[in-house]
Amino acid sequence: MVCGDTVLWKGAETTPLVSVATTKIVADVLERNKLPGAIATLCCGGADVGKAMAADSRLKLLSFTGSTHIGQQVGVEVQKRFGKHLLELGGNNALIVADDADLNMVVQATLFACVGTAGQRCTTTRRLILHKNVHDEVLGRLKKAYGQVLNRIGDALESNTLIGPLHSQQSLNKYKDTIEEIKKEGGTIEFGGKVLDKPGYFVEPTIVTGLKHDHPLVHNECFAPIVYILKTENVKEAICWNNEVPQGLSSSIFTQNLGNIFEWIGPKGSDCGIVNVNIPTSGAEIGGAFGGEKATGGGRESGSDAWKQYMRRSTITINHSKDLPLAQGIKFE
């Protein structure tokens, strides 16, 4: 809207009341500023509505936030009509801990990034890559920190709550299936792994060890509060593991070594769209472009130049003289 565009948007089919409430708030702001509320219009529905939007040539730009699987289908459909798309898809975000890291910061950052929003942020930390020299200490301290938040799982409207529920029964089923697969594949549940016996889709935040860095489960985003702990020999190896997953959204390293930092942010470092140092993977600086590379889709929101994606680009040349300059210096006598 800042760029002068009207907006037709579709929220998740599982949260229609949130979509309606949001649209009413936006419409009220527009109308109080003497603009039609319908500048931002809501269309509720399921996958059929999304497919129709992707195929409709009247929608010059289609912005999609969701899974990599669905985002790939959306991108192909929009490209068929030579439309523009902005894709904000999955992430399999890693947090690397070097052997010189401030471990007090590491534990706080990891706890927040792994369990916040019950592990349902696109920037949630999914993989914690620990240098072998600090692996055991970080794991022990992290398990203790997890234990201290178990009694703060509950209704997100209550002030004491830190961890709310999973989104749906489908999310709960995926969490349970993943836990069973982890056990079947020889992984160790260091903490959590259980569904809470209370109304709602509440689960324990879970720490997993014992799976290799390239195991299919580690490379898959469950979108639940499950983090895989990996032990690495050095930062260079950790960077390779960070980059080996299909997604490329957010990444982080904790270190005090400038050499590590410049290797991390350099051309052979993290291949993600968000590259952090001594802050966790979750959240984002509002002044910076938000988005990722590879299977995350390549789209960018926020930041200094994200608005350009919502504009039509034209190169305009105006001749103010009575002469006609032609390319390659051609002249007609």
Q: What is the per-residue DSSP string for 274-324?
A: EEEESS-SSS--TTS-B--EETT-S--BSSSSGGGGGS---------SSS-
Q: Return the DSSP state at 258.
A: H
> Which residue in the block uniquely carries the two structure tokens 């030579």?
82
Q: Which of 133-142, 189-198, 220-229, 299-308 has the lowest mean pLDDT?
A: 299-308
Q: How confident is the model at residue 32 (pLDDT cuts 50, 70, 90)?
A: very high
CA-nearest of 298, 206, 187 to 246 is: 298
Percent of the chain with pLDDT over 70: 100
Distance CA 290, CA 84 (A): 18
Please give the pLDDT value at position 327: 84
Compute how many other C-beta atoms are within 10 angstroms of the C-beta atom of residue 219: 16
Mean confidence (pLDDT) of the chain: 95
**Residues forming a β-bridge with 84:** 61
pLDDT at 308 over 90: no
Tokens standing for residue 278? 């001594």
Q: Of the segments 27-41, 292-306, 316-330, which one has the largest average pLDDT value?
A: 27-41
- Which tokens sit at 217? 């489960």
Q: For 72-92, what is the mean pLDDT? A: 96
Q: Which residues of 175-190 are buried (b: 16+ CB within 10 A; e: fewer)?
A: beebbeebeeeebebb
Query: Which residue in this structure is represented by tokens 């916040």?
Result: 116
Name the burial class of residue 218, with classes exposed (0-12), middle (13-18) and buried (19+) by CB atoms within 10 angstroms of its CB: buried
Q: How far apart are CA 329 and CA 122, in angstroms?
A: 54
> Residue 31 CA to chain centroid, in angstroms?
33
CA 98 – CA 105 distance, rounded (Å):
12
Instruction: Report pLDDT digits (tens) over 269-282.
Output: 999 999 999 999 99
| Interatomic CA distance for residues 88 and 108, integer angstroms | 27
Closest CA to 167 of 18, 330, 30: 18
Q: How far is CA 204 from the centre of its chain?
A: 22
Average pLDDT estimate for 138-165: 96
Q: Mention the CATH class of domain 7-89+289-310.
A: alpha beta
First to last CA, the chain: 51
Give me the pLDDT at residue 304, please: 76
Output the pTM of the full model. 0.94
285, pLDDT greater than 90:
no
Q: Show the tokens assigned to 251.
A: 């990444």
pLDDT of residue 120: 96
Residue 285 makes CB contacts below 8 A (sequence gap 6+) with none
Percent of the chain clearing pLDDT 90 (strictly above): 89
| Amino acid type, 159 | S
Residue 332: pLDDT band with limits 50, 70, 90 = confident
Whether 278 and 255 have beta carbons less than 8 Å apart is answered as: yes
176-235 per-position pLDDT tens digit: 999 999 999 999 999 999 999 999 999 999 999 999 999 999 999 999 999 999 999 999
Q: CA torsion 279→281→283→288, rounded to 10°?
A: 80
Instruction: With a cut of 80, say whether residue 283 has pLDDT above it.
Output: no
Residues contacting residue 124 through CB under 8 Å, at least 6 positions apart: 91, 93, 113, 114, 116, 117, 223, 225, 281, 282
Catalytic positions: 88
- Per-residue pLDDT, averaged over 236-243, amounts to 98
Residue extents of the structural domains in the chain: 7-89+289-310, 93-277
129 neighbors 94 (Cβ within 8 angstroms): yes
Model confidence at 2, pLDDT cuts 50, 70, 90, reads confident
What is the mean predicted confidence (pLDDT) over 115-137? 97
Rounded Cα gap, residues 245 and 126, in angstroms? 11
In this predicted structure, the answer to whether residue 251 has a pLDDT above a threshold of 80 is yes
Asked if 186 contacts 211 with a C-beta cutoff of 8 angstroms, the reply is yes
Domain 93-277 CATH assignment equals 3.30.460.20: no
Question: Whose structure tokens read 């010059």?
Answer: 60
Residue 8 pLDDT grade (very low, low, confident, very high; cuts 50, 70, 90): very high
pLDDT number for residue 232? 98
Label residue 325 by pLDDT band (50, 70, 90).
confident
